[in-house]
């Protein structure tokens, strides 16, 4: 019995000594976490990988006392390296940085437009295979160099730069001016035979108000989404902008959508949640505008028909609900006869945007970014005939019509507008 | 002599959970990827056909066991085929248990390396799994059944959390075209592949501990139904979340979907929970098959106790689990060797026994 007790005691002592850590264990102060990765075209058939690395000391200081939050330059450091593969980057950078670089907390992969136009698949594949890279990281396309974007991106309100990307993911639901996409979904879309992929556009705005669109009296309109990233006339501390979407066909970028087109794209897909949309007052005598806070009431309905020759026609019905939260005119929107005019005007405006966008994706991009193919494939029982049908080749000839139904539910805090007295 | 093997007793609910947990172990391995390749987006339907085959298998096995209510399949096999052929058939069953244990030890170890412990030597992980298996087998089937019953809420609750958390990412269009790669692939090859399991023959070995052949049918039907419906549900969740292409590419589709959980900033990176779940299930599966091999061998050799056999059999499992040179070879061994092999003890053996008894009765009647 004493021998058994001794053996047990010996095993416990040995186990506590030998099981104190596992083979892969590392202390947090031995690791440097990459928060964002930018990939640009490099010289000599290479790529330039730019990383934003978290500086934990600064993050702790910023979070604790609030004093460090204002200077986000200290929260992360930016490094670039020219290499032949994205995942060769940590080893090369570790010739300079003394902590092991880790992609476990990487929140964003930003590809430059130039690289995306040449094809992105060969750069995405190694990321998907890596155990460190998470499929929930977001993908962005940068107008201009991704390196410049990462260097100039300065989310001064957030202690952690990674928080910016988490917030951006959710913020797209608040206005719909860009569409968020995670790495897994982006990768799936690259392979899918029923949908082409998009990715949010990012850019740096260097000027002031030169890029502002003209007002109504100068031939413009009231739409606030007529910009792509880098064009929005904003001045301030952070020069980075997120608006618009890059459109792909296969793994190559074909062009981009501005903010308004991105909203139409999201509405057709049923992914639009909320947004403020301005349009010309249909009853106004001058250049008055009316502002709708609108959201998608329910998922769109798709009716697909395929005739014997394989021609596809699709009818899409979009259902919106709005609240009037802004109006410069004096007409009383709450009047039932007026209300239907405003509803129709809004519906026509969105309808026109959607139909124009679909036409553009058919003629200019040849790319079914809306996933109409996902509805068309319901008409096939097995994979083989579906693959033989080659929907993405048929997309440009498909007859697609969008109808928008809009209901104004509320009129904000004002029911009736009394005109101001005339002098 | 045989009665000296003390297996303990446990109730039907423990038996159902034990067999169901053992059955779903394969969903955590690369097996779903194989099913995706076979059935495409309709891979989730394959277990429905597999369930029908498994239920028929349970029925046939229950007929066999009812012939000799106080015996297990090991003694019945010997009784039906005679001492030489019967022992040979039992050795097939024993080598099947060892093959399952070996393959699962290797695959679970590889899965843990790929997902969580990339720098740990495989021998250390295999030994840890085997230590759990040996301990479970040494403590006996009653202890394992009760352990399975205790961990069931965690396992099934974890799976429920997974399904609920993933639901925002489900894309219903991923399930189309509805019949995937075709009816033959889904309900033919796919169903037979999912029906290639361990639990029918295992339950037939454990039949006395589970309460005898009277309860065998009920336990078998219920455990198969639970396990196959769970398998089908999890496959559907994988297709809905990842889509056919990515699910077909992924080494560990279940792990991939668990990494995809993203419910805002607060609920993400929860895959570690699922690594724990699959480690529990892996331990139970390895322990069960090691136990099945040891008890079957003890009964075949008419030994009074199975425990002395656990150590040598454990050593055999450890060494053979390291024989495949790489992970793809281990996965191929599973799909090309183990799945067809499973048909022998689970379906062919009981059918042959039924045929032999029928022939014996017929010749007996002709003789009289």
pLDDT, tens digit, for every residue of A22-40?
Answer: 777 788 888 999 999 999 9
Of all residues in chain A, what percent carry a pLDDT higher than 90?
Answer: 60
Residue A64: partners with Cβ closer than 8 Å, 6 or more residues away: none
Closest CA to A405 of A319, A297, A340, A279: A319
B26, β-bridge pairs? none
Average pLDDT of A265-291? 89
- The secondary structure of A70-136 as a DSSP string is T-GGGTEEEEEEEESSGGGHHHHHTTT-SSEEE-TT--EEEEEHHHHHH--HHHHHHHHH-SSS-TT
- What pLDDT does residue A58 have? 72
- What pLDDT does residue A206 have? 87
pTM of the model: 0.90
pLDDT, tens digit, for every residue of B313-356?
Answer: 999 999 999 999 999 999 999 999 999 999 999 999 999 999 99
Confidence label for A154 from pLDDT (cuts 50, 70 and 90)? confident
The HSE-up count of residue B21 (CA atoms within 13 Å, CB side) is 34
Which DSSP symbol is given to A212? P
Residue of B nearest to A380 (CA): B177
Provide, as residue numbers in chain A, all residues whose Cβ is less than 8 Å from the Cβ of B124.
23
- By CB neighbour count within 10 A (0-12 exposed, 13-18 middle, 19+ buried), where does A267 fall? buried
Cis check for the bond before B286: say yes or no (omega within 30 of 0).
Answer: no
Provide, as residue numbers in chain A, all residues whose Cβ is less than 8 Å from the Cβ of B248.
none
- What pLDDT does residue A164 have? 87
d(CA A254, CA A199): 12
Q: Report the residue from A134, A374, A381 with minimal CB separation from B173.
A: A374
Enumerate the H helices of A133-258 as residue ranges.
Answer: 146-152, 161-175, 183-191
Provide, as residue numbers in chain A, all residues whose Cβ is less than 8 Å from the Cβ of B186.
none
CA A165, A168, A169: angle at the middle one, nearest 5? 90
Cβ-based interface (< 8 Å): residues of A facing B? 22-24, 128, 131, 134-136, 163, 166, 170, 182, 184, 187-188, 191-192, 194, 371, 374-375, 377-378, 380-386
User: What phi, psi does A81 have (nearest 5°)?
Assistant: -145, 140
The HSE-up count of residue B347 (CA atoms within 13 Å, CB side) is 17
pLDDT, tens digit, for every residue of A90-120?
Answer: 999 999 999 999 999 999 999 999 999 999 9
Residue of B nearest to A19 (CA): B124
Q: Report the residue from A24, A136, A385 with minimal CB separation from B268.
A: A136
d(CA B246, CA B41): 11
Determine which of B40, B174, B246 to mutate to test the interface with A (most A C-beta atoms within 10 Å).
B246
- What pLDDT does residue A61 have? 61
**Per-residue tokens: A133:** 């890279």
Task: Identify the segments of chain B with pLDDT beneath 50.
Answer: 1-2
d(CA B178, CA B39): 10
* Chains A & B: contacts with CB separation below 8 Å: 74
Pairwise CB contact (< 8 Å): A377 & B115: no
DSSP strand pairing (A312-327 vs A399-410): parallel
ipTM over 0.90: no
d(CA B226, CA A260): 50
- By CB neighbour count within 10 A (0-12 exposed, 13-18 middle, 19+ buried), where does A390 fall? exposed
Q: Report the residue from B40, B124, B256 with minimal CB separation from A383.
A: B40
Confidence label for A387 from pLDDT (cuts 50, 70 and 90)? very high
Provide, as residue numbers in chain B, all residues whose Cβ is less than 8 Å from the Cβ of A371.
173
d(CA B104, CA B31): 11
Cβ-based interface (< 8 Å): residues of B facing A? 40-41, 114-115, 117-121, 124, 171, 173, 176-182, 242-243, 245-246, 256, 259-260, 262, 264-265, 268-269
Provide, as residue numbers in chain B, all residues whose Cβ is less than 8 Å from the Cβ of A383.
40-41, 177, 180-182
pLDDT, tens digit, for every residue of B5-15?
Answer: 677 778 899 99
Q: Is B97 helix (H, G, I), strand (E, B) or coil?
A: helix
d(CA B367, CA B160): 60
Pairwise CB contact (< 8 Å): A381 & B178: yes
d(CA B270, CA B257): 11
Question: Scanning the structure block, which residue is given the tokens 């048909």?
Answer: B343
Provide, as residue numbers in chain A, all residues whose Cβ is less than 8 Å from the Cβ of B40.
383
Quote the strand ranges of chain B, DSSP E.
262-263, 267-268
- What pLDDT does residue A401 have? 96
């Amino acid at each position: 019995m004493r021998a058994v007790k001794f053996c047990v005691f010996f095993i416990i002592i040995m186990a506590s000594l030998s099981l104190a850590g596992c083979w892969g264990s590392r202390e947090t102060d031995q690791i440097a976490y990459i928060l964002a990765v930018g990939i640009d075209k490099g010289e000599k058939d290479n790529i330039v990988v730019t990383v934003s690395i978290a500086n934990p000391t600064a993050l702790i200081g910023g979070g604790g006392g609030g004093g460090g939050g204002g200077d986000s330059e200290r929260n992360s450091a930016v490094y670039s390296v020219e290499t032949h593969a994205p995942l060769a980057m940590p080893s090369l950078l570790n010739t300079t940085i003394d902590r092991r670089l880790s992609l476990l907390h990487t929140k964003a992969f930003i590809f430059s437009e130039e690289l995306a136009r040449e094809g992105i698949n060969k750069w995405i594949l190694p990321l998907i295979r890596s155990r460190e890279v998470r499929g929930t990281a977001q993908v962005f396309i940068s107008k201009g160099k991704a390196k410049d974007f990462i260097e100039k991106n300065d989310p001064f309100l957030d202690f952690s730069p990674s928080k910016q990307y988490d917030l951006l993911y959710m913020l797209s639901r608040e206005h719909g001016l860009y569409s968020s996409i995670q790495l897994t979904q982006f990768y799936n879309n690259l392979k899918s035979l029923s949908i082409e992929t998009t990715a949010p556009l990012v850019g740096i705005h260097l000027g002031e108000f030169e890029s502002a669109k003209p007002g109504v009296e100068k031939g413009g309109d009231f739409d606030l989404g007529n910009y792509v990233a880098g064009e929005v006339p904003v001045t301030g501390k952070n020069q980075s902008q997120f608006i618009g979407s890059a459109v792909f066909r296969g793994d190559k970028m074909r062009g981009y959508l501005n903010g308004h087109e991105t909203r139409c794209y999201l509405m057709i897909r049923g992914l639009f949640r909320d947004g403020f949309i301005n349009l010309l007052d249909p009853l106004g005598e001058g250049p008055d505008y009316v502002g709708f806070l609108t959201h998608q009431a329910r998922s769109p309905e798709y009716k697909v028909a395929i005739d014997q020759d394989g021609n596809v026609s699709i009818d899409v019905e979009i259902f919106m609900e709005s609240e009037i939260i802004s109006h410069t005119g004096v007409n009383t929107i709450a009047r039932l006869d007026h209300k239907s005019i405003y509803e129709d005007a809004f519906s026509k405006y969105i309808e026109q945007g959607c139909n124009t966008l679909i036409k553009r994706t058919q003629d200019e991009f040849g790319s079914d970014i809306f996933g109409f193919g996902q509805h068309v494939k319901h008409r096939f029982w097995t994979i083989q005939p579906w693959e033989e049908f080659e929907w993405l080749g048929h997309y440009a000839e498909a007859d697609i019509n969008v109808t928008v139904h809009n209901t104004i539910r509320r009129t904000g805090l004002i029911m009736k507008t009394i005109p101001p007295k005339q002098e | 002599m045989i009665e000296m093997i003390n297996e303990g007793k446990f109730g039907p609910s423990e038996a159902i959970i034990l067999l169901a947990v053992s059955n779903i172990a394969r969903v955590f391995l690369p097996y779903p990827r194989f099913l995706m390749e076979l059935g495409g987006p309709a891979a989730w339907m394959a277990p429905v056909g597999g369930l029908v085959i498994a239920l028929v298998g349970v029925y046939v096995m229950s007929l066999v066991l009812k012939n000799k209510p106080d015996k297990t399949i090991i003694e019945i096999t010997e009784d039906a085929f005679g001492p030489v052929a019967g022992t040979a058939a039992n050795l097939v069953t024993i080598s099947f248990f060892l093959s399952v244990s070996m393959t699962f030890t290797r695959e679970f170890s590889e899965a843990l390396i790929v997902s969580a412990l990339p720098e740990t030597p495989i021998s250390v992980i295999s030994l840890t799994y085997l230590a759990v298996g040996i301990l479970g087998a040494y403590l006996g089937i009653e202890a394992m059944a009760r352990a399975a019953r205790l961990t069931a809420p965690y396992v099934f609750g974890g799976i429920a959390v997974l399904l609920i958390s993933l639901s925002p990412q489900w894309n219903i269009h991923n399930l189309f075209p509805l019949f995937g790669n075709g009816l033959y692939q889904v309900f033919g090859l796919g169903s037979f592949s999912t029906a290639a399991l361990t639990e029918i023959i295992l339950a037939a070995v454990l039949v006395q501990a589970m309460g005898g052949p009277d309860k065998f049918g009920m336990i078998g039907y219920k455990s198969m139904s639970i396990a196959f419906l769970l398998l089908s549900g999890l496959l559907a969740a994988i297709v809905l979340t990842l889509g056919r292409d990515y699910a077909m590419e992924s080494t560990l589709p279940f792990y991939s979907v668990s990494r995809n959980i993203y419910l805002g900033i607060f609920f993400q990176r929860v895959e570690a929970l699922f690594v724990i779940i699959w480690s529990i299930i892996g331990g139970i599966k390895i322990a069960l098959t090691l136990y099945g091999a040891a008890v079957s061998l003890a009964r075949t050799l008419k030994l009074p106790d199975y425990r002395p056999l656990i150590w040598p059999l454990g050593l055999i499992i450890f060494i053979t689990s390291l024989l495949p040179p790489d992970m793809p070879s281990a996965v191929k061994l599973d799909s090309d060797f183990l799945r067809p092999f499973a048909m022998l003890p689970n379906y062919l053996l009981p059918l042959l026994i039924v045929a032999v008894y029928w022939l014996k009765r017929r010749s007996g009647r002709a003789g009289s």
